[in-house]
Structure 1
Amino acid sequence: MNTVALPGMLRSPLNDDRSQASRSTRIWTGLAVAIGALVLLGALAYLLPALGAPIGPAGVPSHVSTDPSNLPYYALRSLFRMFTALIISLVFAFLYGLAAARSRRLGAVLIPLLDILQSVPVLGFLSATISIWLVLFPGSIMGVEAASIFAIFTSQAWNMAFSFYNSLTSEPADLDEAVRLMRLTRWQRFWKLDVPNSMIPLLWNCMMSMGGGWFFLTASEMISVNNRTLALPGIGSFVEEATAEQDLGKVGLAILTMIVVVLLIDFLLWKPLTAWAEKFRYTSSQSTEPRRSLVLTVIRLSGVKDLLGLVGHPLADLLDRITRPLGRTGARWSRGGGRRRASDLVWWACLALIGLWGLWQLDRLVIRPLGLGEVGHVFQLGLLTFLRVLILMVVCTIVWVPIGALIGMNPRISRYLQPLVQILASFPANFIFPFVTMVFIIWRIDINWGSILLMALGTQWYILFNVIAGASAIPDDLLEMSRSLGQNRWQRWKTLILPALFGSWCTGGITAAGGAWNASIVSEVVSYGKTELTAKGLGAYIAQVTATGDTPRIILGVAVMSIFVVLADRFFWSPLQSLAQRRYSLT
């Protein structure tokens, strides 16, 4: 009798490492893991008192010290914010993706809304929420810390939610049938199928989210809204201050610190996770060169998995029993056809009323005070930024799709290039903005064109990482079949590789486009010392009105940006995603 294995049940080629290791090896690896855990706990204990420190009589500082000896401490503060935001983003991606994929009505609203949210600039979120965070934590620096973490979250969450949603809507039919036969509850289905099936693309998007968080670190740690500047200790605020002082030496030291941090994160986190995630590949044959990680091997040899299982397995069984009444056994959450037409009409009527109310508020708060002339001017600026985004998307697709496919399909090449790609993507591109701005000034490069390059430095990686994830997930069986049929390189790309990557490219493209709109805020207005270069565009408009606290114009800028994003989603990205699911899904 044939059996079907769910992705979460696949056996790793390294599962037997511990049984083959000597006793002394197991002791030393266990000691190494224990030391690592103690270091992590010690760093948290060192940081937590500063996070809840009271605000002094002078209020929140508007500047930070640029003494290079502070850089290690600043790096710890920035890392704490980044990983806190990443964990929150992961939970958000699970909840949002499930709601959008499992409910036809919610999906029709949540996916366009997600596209809008990822394009709303970080400064737009900050200007609307900074007062709320300060009220929630009165008299404590925690309010500013929460605002900073929330700002980083808004640069990380959207592409992860898109990735999880697309994984849910393209689950293999045979695995869905296996879930039905095994009569798993919805809770069990989530952990046995939904999460494992999404693991590889979700992991790569987590890496990309870290890169997106670094990109907006300066805006998140040096918060300038409503004519106020709130500065938090961190690498981003250090670079902002050093740039204002025109001290490129200190900027270089911050960049060196960042390189060390990124290398450590890659070695201690991303390499182990990518090697571990190989067991979730949907294929009937094992890769000839599985990914390996020294850190993952040490963890496996240490026996920490067995210790965690003593607590984890009983807890998992308890949760299974608790959640069993919440869903029918073996049920699939269908997005079904045209049932409940009357309730559908009520649902859409409610949405229409909400939309009309929003338009009335927009007219009352923005259009009437500013006039139609200002609205038309902002739409013209939006068109200029849209053209920059379009050029960026075309160029990045041509450049990175072949490179991403090469990295994802060739384990040998991936072994050498994947760390480099992760470092480049995780490195905050805006840290080198001062150097690029200086080049623009010396060479007299028009910032209206130069801003495209600055936007690309932070957003091109969305396409590359999703293409790598898509290429990594191509079953080895299909590649072997292509070789057996004697297909040449062009035929293989035309009939297998490009169709298999199409869905991943759509996910990367829609997140890259939204990220490009967001990045326009920091790319269309750049400065070096007292010299400021400003491009004509919607990003520069929003940055300028946010700095002055002009609420009607902030709302207008964000609204116009949202309109452009919705139109692009409706007439371009949605048809492409439907085509990818209908014709180019491997499963």
Structure 2
Amino acid sequence: MLLAAATASLFRMLAAYVLSVLTALLIGSAMAKNKTVESILLPILDILQSIPILGFFPAALILFVTYFPERIGVELASIFLIWTSLVWNMIFGVYSSVKSLDPSYDDLVKAYNFGHAARFFFIYAPVSRRSLIANSLVSWAGGWFFLTSAEVVSLGSSEYRVTGLGSFIIEQFNSGNLLGFYLGVALLLLIITLTYFLIWNPAASKNLGLNLPSFTAVYDKIHDIVAATWGGLGELSLVVEKKLKKFEKILGFLIRLSILVALVIFALNIIAGLGSIGLPNFLPKMLAVLYEIPITLARIVFILLLSLSLSLLVAFISYRNVLLGGALSIIGEILASIPAIIWWPLLAAIALGYSYGAYIVSLIVFLQGAFWYLYYNIIVYGLSSIRKDLEELSSVYKIRGVPFIRYVFVPSLLPSIATGALSAWGGAWNASVVAEYVVVGDHSIDIGGVGALLNRLAIQGDVEGLVVSALLLSSVIVLINKTLWSRFFKYIEGKYGGED
């Protein structure tokens, strides 16, 4: 049973990851090369990436459980929910890669009359490889982080479970089977470790130039299979596109019409949904969210400062000692992937045994959701951006210790710190749904905040309240992103953007 659960979870992770890569390539390249698509999808994605996983529960139930046989629908819903925790940063990675393409590529496309398929398979996908691999390190960890939430979809009296390692671990703990619980956690850690050693570390080492402990044989085989499959699909798409060339205008019209119809139906459903809520019900729900948001916001600001301090400490250790840095990277990869909700039963003695125990465990879960974004951005991109000439000057003039950190080390990392901090900001908001409320055995732990509110609404089956709360929370996050964070990025760009 345990092996079957582990296999099922790994399959869902792989299925969600493949779907995320394809989604990222399609949407990211489309946004980068079409201003109309960019103007429509960019603000929508800003909102979607800010919605915690609980906010997608109603969509998962409506899209899959309602229209498919229950067993298939629940499985698809679980993959969809994992996909929501993987895909957003991958889309923006592809978008930035294709957006920054040298203009000479566009001249090449026009000169050789490349079709959409040729551009997608042989230009946009290859140029996005580095960003996809870099973002996959964080996304893969994020998928495991929300695995349990995706394998148990609960909304009011309706609860849907799939066989999986995350649901198995929680069930074993709640039933009092501690041996099964610890065996499940041990197997989870083993799978996470193996996937990094056999797949992600070799991928990062070969494509990003990182020196991570790994075994390359499995990755090389997978790379050959994926390359052959992708090349075959590319060649096939060229043939199909050539055959359909004479129907290009008709197909383009049908595609645009289908998208328009889908958007209209979606908008009408949203309007109908808001109409069913009614103003008297809408206002109290909105006020409840606005009351809880500052509580979570204060926690997240503290978490960001703590994450930044820890990330800089680990980065400095890695910078000074390569071997120790490699060991810390492996530990980080494993810890980053532990599903958030598993920390609660693992540390149940602390959470339930002390007056402030729940806040301590909540702090750890929040850190899980935020710290690794800063960590990976600084380790993967930041350390490689420290200029050699500054290092040599520091050595010549014997600038060490605090002056080196203040005037050379931290300023060199600022662009990576900014990018990582923004991602950590979003990750912390998403983590709030598992950091502020949890059921451990017969005990419900509720420390307040917007994450706890979303959980209470889901337990009550208040779909309208859940949707309103998730959208309002997303709007607040986007508003802060477009004001405070955008100014911070402009400052970084103005101060360091011109440096070679």
TM-score higher than 0.5 here? yes
Report the 3-state secondary structure (helix = DSSP H, G, I; strand = E; otherwise coil) of the residue aligned with 2:49.
helix
Pairwise CA distance, 1:249:
2.9
Report the 3-state secondary structure (helix = DSSP H, G, I; strand = E; otherwise coil) of the residue aligned with 1:561.
helix
1:114 equivalent in structure 2: 45
1:365-397 CA deviation, whole Å, 9 max, x = no partner?
A: 446142634432321111211221221112111
- Asked if 1:368 corresponds to 2:279, the answer is yes
Correspondence list, 1:240-389, <5 A: 240-278=170-208, 293-296=214-217, 305=224, 316=234, 364-366=275-277, 368-370=279-281, 372-389=283-300
Change (3 A) 1:308 1:523: closer
Contact 1:170 1:581 survives alignment (8 Å) = no
With the length of structure 2 as denominator, give the TM-score of the two structures: 0.81
Give 1:231's aligned amino acid: R
Give 1:132's aligned amino acid: L
The structure that has the greater radius of gyration is 1
1:44-101 CA deviation, whole Å, 9 max, x = no partner?
A: xxxxxxxxxxxxxxxxxxxxxxxxxx11111000000011001111122222322333
**Mean Cα deviation higher: 460-469 or 195-204:** 195-204
Give 2:393's aligned amino acid: L
Pairwise CA distance, 1:569:
1.0
Change (3 A) 1:436 1:179: same
Give 2:368's aligned amino acid: L
Report the 3-state secondary structure (helix = DSSP H, G, I; strand = E; otherwise coil) of the residue aligned with 1:229.
strand
Change (3 A) 1:101 1:310: closer
Change (3 A) 1:104 1:405: farther
Structure 2 distance, partners of 1:428, 1:532, is 19
Report the 3-state secondary structure (helix = DSSP H, G, I; strand = E; otherwise coil) of the residue aligned with 2:387.
helix
1:125 equivalent in structure 2: 56
Q: How many residues align?
A: 474
Q: 2:459 aligns with which of 518, 533, 547?
A: 547
Report the 3-state secondary structure (helix = DSSP H, G, I; strand = E; otherwise coil) of the residue aligned with 1:387.
helix
Structure 1 distance, partners of 2:352, 2:375, is 30
Correspondence list, 1:568-587, <5 A: 568-581=480-493, 583-585=495-497
Change (3 A) 1:176 1:418: farther
Structure 1 distance, partners of 2:459, 2:293, is 19
Structure 1 distance, partners of 2:482, 2:265, is 20
1:543-570 CA deviation, whole Å, 9 max, x = no partner?
A: 1111221122112211221122111111
**Mean Cα deviation higher: 127-136 or 494-503:** 494-503
Structure 2 distance, partners of 1:448, 1:549, is 26
Structure 2 distance, partners of 1:210, 1:271, is 12
Contact 1:239 1:254 survives alignment (8 Å) = yes
Contact 2:152 2:160 survives alignment (8 Å) = yes
Change (3 A) 1:469 1:409: farther
Structure 2 distance, partners of 1:404, 1:151, is 32
- Asked if 1:520 corresponds to 2:432, the answer is yes
Structure 1 distance, partners of 2:55, 2:226, is 42
Q: 1:156 aligns with which of 72, 86, 95?
A: 86
Change (3 A) 1:562 1:483: closer
Change (3 A) 1:177 1:575: farther
Report the 3-state secondary structure (helix = DSSP H, G, I; strand = E; otherwise coil) of the residue aligned with 1:444.
coil
Structure 2 distance, partners of 1:440, 1:111, is 40
Structure 2 distance, partners of 1:408, 1:108, is 41
1:85-122 CA deviation, whole Å, 9 max, x = no partner?
A: 01111122222322333344544553443232122122
Structure 2 distance, partners of 1:304, 1:243, is 39
Give 1:120's aligned amino acid: I
Structure 2 distance, partners of 1:240, 1:102, is 45
Pairwise CA distance, 1:165:
3.0
Structure 2 distance, partners of 1:368, 1:464, is 44
Q: CA RMSD of the aligned region, Å?
A: 3.8
Contact 1:425 1:461 survives alignment (8 Å) = yes
Give 1:110's aligned amino acid: L
Q: 2:327 aligns with which of 402, 416, 426?
A: 416
Report the 3-state secondary structure (helix = DSSP H, G, I; strand = E; otherwise coil) of the residue aligned with 1:547.
helix
**Mean Cα deviation higher: 309-318 or 250-259:** 309-318
Correspondence list, 1:485-496, <5 A: 485-486=393-394, 488-489=399-400
Q: 1:428 aligns with which of 331, 334, 339?
A: 339
Sequence identity, in percent?
28
Structure 1 distance, partners of 2:364, 2:226, is 47
As a proportion of its length, which structure holds more helix? 2
Contact 2:86 2:142 survives alignment (8 Å) = yes
1:32 equivalent in structure 2: none
1:455 equivalent in structure 2: 366
Structure 1 distance, partners of 2:457, 2:427, is 20
**Mean Cα deviation higher: 95-104 or 430-439:** 95-104
With the length of structure 1 as denominator, give the TM-score of the two structures: 0.70
Structure 2 distance, partners of 1:498, 1:192, is 38
Structure 1 distance, partners of 2:41, 2:376, is 24
1:213 equivalent in structure 2: 143
Structure 2 distance, partners of 1:454, 1:260, is 21
Unmatched segments (≥5 aa) in structure 1 = 1-69, 282-286, 327-352
Structure 1 distance, partners of 2:489, 2:99, is 11
Report the 3-state secondary structure (helix = DSSP H, G, I; strand = E; otherwise coil) of the residue aligned with 1:136.
coil
Give 1:584's aligned amino acid: Y
**Mean Cα deviation higher: 568-577 or 198-207:** 198-207
Unmatched segments (≥5 aa) in structure 2 = 245-263
Q: 2:390 aligns with which of 482, 493, 496?
A: 482
1:329-379 CA deviation, whole Å, 9 max, x = no partner?
A: xxxxxxxxxxxxxxxxxxxxxxxx999999976763446142634432321
Contact 2:52 2:433 survives alignment (8 Å) = yes
Contact 1:482 1:492 survives alignment (8 Å) = no
Change (3 A) 1:119 1:101: same
1:526-558 CA deviation, whole Å, 9 max, x = no partner?
A: 232212110111111111111221122112211
